[in-house]
Amino acid sequence: MVTRNDVARLAGTSPAVVSYVMNNGPKPVSAAARQRVLAAVKELGYRPNAVARSLRSRRTWTIGVIASDSAGGTSPFFGQFTRACEEVAWQRGYSVLLGNSAEDPARAEGYVRRFMEHQVDGLVLMRVPVSPDRAEEMRGRVPVVTIDHSAPPHFSRLAVDDEEGGYQATRHLLEHGHRRIGFVGGPLDITPVGLRAEGRRRALREAGLTGEGPVAEGELSLEGGYDAALRLLRSSADRPTALFASIDDQAIGAMRAAADLGLRVPEDVAVVGFDGAREAAYTVPGLTTISQPIDEMARHATETLVGAIEQENAAPLIKIFSATLVPRGSCGCPEPRGRG
């Protein structure tokens, strides 16, 4: 079996330099030395012993990422977020284990337990609730970054300002002259959805509009948005002239529902989504959306987690990201050219 010492002899370096190249650190290596090591690795067919590496470093070099996607892993937000997490983890020398709790608390607990049994070095929890007992069990054993507004104090917490985003979306529709603005939302007990709905209510109150207005709940999916929008748009007497959907998938489903009812977007009903998924730029008309900095959040979450793994007892971090309105044709704004 080819060893690290064999690679070092052929490359003309020390075994420690070989280790730094293979592990991307912890010490820097000159470009020339790195090239010699990589050439020697290729020539000799060297494969590091992962078990020995883990024993030496007391790490498994794996990160667990658990999403809470009721649409079965199809949400653009979760897909884009986990992809960006994986990219940063790979660059830092870590592999990613991915689980989808499908909004099921028992399944979420099961994934947390299994990933800890696999001795992952850290966890990213994307809107995944953790019981107090489980959270206490994790204290001091594995660093955790949550993408949510509420979490135990020893978890790092990242989130977007959902209420302000809901306010921006509704305010924009009000500025277009709409007064009957419906809400196509997921279950309101899901924290981000409830906060986006509260932002909508705040904008309506500021405009002097009382009451909740037309609301229809549906699954956080294309189909859920379609079904909820049908319920709101079928009534001709009090039909809303605009819809704010709690995620982009629901907004796209709502646009299809409007088309099936013979309604034009935005002439008969304006539509605004929330997420900033890439797909929003490709609908016809383009979907106006409240854009979350998904890639930035994912990079920040992964870097924060890796930092906590490599610097034991690092203080937990709390960071709230701003959301940005991206206007397109679905609300009545001019349609941008190209891909929006």
Helix H, strand E, coil C: the string for the chain is: CCCHHHHHHHHCCCHHHHHHHHHCCCCCCCHHHHHHHHHHHHHHCCCCCHHHHHHHHCCCCEEEEEECCCCCCCCHHHHHHHHHHHHHHHHCCCEEEEEECCCCHHHHHHHHHHHHHCCCCEEEEECCCCCHHHHHHHCCCCCEEEECCCCCCCCEEEEECHHHHHHHHHHHHHHCCCCCEEEEECCCCCHHHHHHHHHHHHHHHHCCCCCCCCEEECCCCHHHHHHHHHHHHCCCCCCCCEEEECCHHHHHHHHHHHHHCCCCCCCCCEEEEEECCHHHHHCCCCCEEEECCHHHHHHHHHHHHHHHHHCCCCCCCEEEECCEEECCHHHCCCCCCCCC
For the chain, the residue count is: 340
Q: Who wins on pLDDT, 49 or 56?
A: 49
Q: Is the pLDDT of residue 326 over 70?
A: yes
pLDDT at 23: 72
pLDDT digit string, tens, across residues 212-268: 889 999 988 899 999 999 999 997 678 999 999 999 999 999 999 999 999 999 999
Q: For the whole model, what pTM was predicted?
A: 0.78
d(CA 110, CA 149): 22
Q: What average pLDDT does the structure give for the chain?
A: 87
Taken in order of first residue, the domains within the chain and their CATH numbers are 4-48 (1.10.260.40), 62-160+294-321 (3.40.50.2300), 162-292+325-331 (3.40.50.2300)
pLDDT at 64: 93
pLDDT digit string, tens, across residues 138-166: 887 889 999 987 788 889 999 999 999 99
Q: What would the mean pLDDT of 299-313 be, rounded to a whole number?
A: 86
d(CA 175, CA 233): 21
Q: Which residue in 295, 63, 39, 290 sits closest to 158, CA to CA?
A: 295
Q: What value, to the nearest 5°, has the Cα angle with vertex 230 and ends 227 and 234?
A: 155
Q: Who wins on pLDDT, 13 or 59?
A: 13
